[in-house]
Amino acid sequence: MSTTYTTKSGKEYEYYEKFNDTSKNLVLVSSDNLALRVDCTILRTSSSVFRSMFATCDTEGDQVHLPHTAELLGLYIFALDDRHLDLSNITYETFQELLEICIRYDTLSIGPQLFRKLTKIQEFDYTNGYELVVLAAKFDDILTACRIISKIGYEAYGRNSADKFWKTNNWERDIMNKLPST
């Protein structure tokens, strides 16, 4: 099996691990210039953004350049395809970017699934608690927001450096502006 993808113009991209199955009909090229061969149907059926992209652009059977790293795209495709996705060693920044991709490509249904796979939510540290609550709210995931508050909130409340969100008497008027108004 080949380890590189060659475009029609002759440019070569190395395949990202586990994404070099030649039976797949679309190649995603990441921002770090790695190729991921995927099934176009997974993207089309999961995302209205990709459905529109494939309807207006003749990209099927070709490549699509996306402004995300191969690691993020790989996690995103695994989540869409409902493959085993291990989030035990994921950093907060990567998890946040993964959720932002879900929002960007209108695949909000997998956001709560990703939150559920995150079994050790307290390892993200109390300083990220408010941002996690905001992200959960973008997916209408109240259960996760409650989980975050119960796992991180008590620890954050006792710390002087904690985010102002955890101490309601320190709230500024705009503390809730980041939360969606739904």
Res 16: pLDDT: 95
Backbone torsion region of residue 82, taken as left when φ is above 0, otherwise alpha when ψ lies between -120 and 50, otherwise beta = left
pLDDT tens readout for residues 1-43: 678 998 888 899 999 988 999 889 899 999 999 999 999 999 9
Please give the span between the terminal C-alpha atoms of the chain, in angstroms, as a whole number.
49
Mean pLDDT of 41-52: 92
Res 60: pLDDT: 45
Q: What is the mean pLDDT of the chain?
A: 82
Q: What is the domain count for the chain? A: 2
Give yes or no for residue 171 having a pLDDT over 50.
yes
CB 167 within 8 A of CB 157: yes
Res 107: pLDDT: 94
Res 34: pLDDT: 97
User: Side chain identity at 134, as an amino acid letter?
Assistant: V
Same domain, 79 and 124: no
Domain boundary among 66, 85, 104: 85
Q: Name the more confident of 106 and 149.
A: 106
**Share of residues in the chain with pLDDT > 70 (%):** 75
Q: Name the more confident of 122 and 68.
A: 68
Res 78: pLDDT: 93
The domain of 111 spans 89-182
Give the 3-state DSSP-derived string for the chain, with helices as H, strands as E and coil as C.
Answer: CCCEEECCCCCEEEECCCCCCCCCCEEEECCCCEEEEECHHHHHHHCHHHHHHHHHCCCCCCEEECCCCHHHHHHHHHHHCCCCCCCCCCCHHHHHHHHHHHHHCCCCCHHHHHHHHCCCHHHHCHHHHHHHHHHHHHCCCHHHHHHHHHHHHHHHHCCCCCCHHHCHHHCCCCCCCCCCCC
Q: Name the more confident of 137 and 123.
A: 137
Same domain, 78 and 141: no
Q: Does the predicted TM-score (pTM) go above 0.85?
A: no
Same domain, 80 and 105: no
Same domain, 111 and 146: yes
Mean pLDDT of 157-180: 61
Domain boundary among 50, 70, 85: 85
Give yes or no for residue 52 having a pLDDT over 60.
yes
